[in-house]
Amino acid sequence: MLSLNGLSKTYGNGVQALGGFTLDVPRGEILVVIGGSGCGKSTLLRLISGLERPSRGTVVINGETVTEPHPLINLIFQEPRLLPWLTVRDNIAFGLADLPAPERDRRIRLALGQVHLEGYEDRLPKELSGGQAQRVAIARALVTQPEVLLLDEPFSALDALTRAALQNHILDIWEESRPTIILVTHDIDEAVLLAHRIVVMKPWPGHIVEEITVDLPGRRDRDDDGVDHYRREARALLGSSLASA
C-alpha cells in the first residue's frame, strides 16, 4: 500500500505546485492522473519517487516514510534519458552494480523480454527508434523489480501506433508482476484503456477534484461501449476542470 498524506509542495520561487494531496493507492492498482498542464502532476510523481521532498505531508510505502529515492519505487519520464555512450545492456545494468554478474545478466534478459527487446543488448541508444528507446527506459525501471512504477507522460512523444504497442506492454508487465502503476497522461483514451481508477487534478495549488473508478474487467478494446462511456465521463470532468482552472 502506498499512502499519500496531505502532500504539499511550494517551490523556492513561491509557486505552490501541490496542496494537500491525499490518496491511498492499494498494491497492484493502475492509477491514472489527468489534469491540465501546470496542475502539479510531475511534482506529485517526483515527491512519490523521493527525488524531491514535500513541503508538508508524507509519502508512505508499506509503513515506511519515503525521504529519498526508494528502491521499491521507480520513475519513468517522457523522454528515455538513456546514457548515449552506454549499450542497452549497460544502461539497464546501471542500477544493478551490487548484484553478482550472473544474476545481473538474468535480470537484464528478463526485463528486455518484458518489453520485447531480446537481442538488443549490444545496441547504442542512437541505434534505436523512439519507441525502442522508451522500452529500454521501461526495462531499466523494471530491472530492480520495483513495487511501484511511476510514469510521467511516457508515450506522449511517440506516434499513435508505437504508443498503442507500449500501452499493451505496460498491461503485459502488469499482468506478469502486478506492480502498482501511477501514470500521468494527457490522453483520455490511454487513461480509460489502462486505469483501474482515474483522478482528475486542478491547479493552484494542485489537488484532486474528481475520481472515477473504471469498472471494466480485463483487457479493454477502444471500441467497447463501456470504454466509450468512461471516455465521455473522463473528458467531461477534465473539460470542467480546465474551464474553471
Ligand X SMILES: Nc1ncnc2c1ncn2[C@@H]1O[C@H](COP(=O)(O)OP(=O)(O)O)[C@@H](O)[C@H]1O
Count the site residues for Mg ion by CB under 5 A: 2
CB of 98 to Mg ion, least distance (A): 32
R_g (Cα) of the chain, nearest Å: 18
CB of 203 to ligand X, least distance (A): 7
Which cell numbers hold the place of 36?
A: 491540465
Backbone angles phi, psi at 5, to 5 degrees: -115, 105
Binders of ligand X in range 24-63 (CB under 6 A): 37-43
Which cell numbers hold the place of 159?
A: 506516434
**For ligand X, which stretch binds (CB under 6 A), given 8-16, 80-88, 95-103, 213-221?**
8-16
Kindly tell me which of 1 and 77 has the beta carbon lying closer to Mg ion: 77
List 206's β-bridge partners, or say none: 18
Q: Is 11 in the site for ligand X (CB under 6 A)?
A: yes
Residues 21, 230 contacting (CB under 8 angstroms)? no
Q: Is 15 in the site for ligand X (CB under 6 A)?
A: yes
For residues 99 to 118, the per-residue mask of contacts with Mg ion, x marking binding by CB under 5 A and - elsewhere, is: --------------------
Compute the distance between CA of residue 185 and CA of residue 195 in angstroms, rounded to an integer. 11
Binders of Mg ion in range 35-54 (CB under 5 A): 41-42
Which cell numbers hold the place of 158?
A: 511517440
Among candidates 41, 45, 30, which has minimal Cα distance to 195? 30
Binding at 60: pick from ligand X, Mg ion, none (beta carbon under 5-8 Å per type): none
Kindly tell me which of 8 and 42 has the beta carbon lying closer to ligand X: 42
Which cell numbers hold the place of 125?
A: 541508444
CB of 216 to ligand X, least distance (A): 26
Binding at 43: pick from Mg ion, ligand X, none (beta carbon under 5-8 Å per type): ligand X
CB of 46 to ligand X, least distance (A): 8
Residues 135, 114 contacting (CB under 8 angstroms)? no
Pairing of strands 73-76, 64-65: unpaired
Binding at 204: pick from Mg ion, ligand X, none (beta carbon under 5-8 Å per type): none
Amino acid at position 109, single letter: R
List 151's β-bridge partners, or say none: 76, 183
Binding site for Mg ion (CB under 5 A): 41-42
- Contact footprint for ligand X (CB under 6 A): 11, 13, 15, 17, 37-43
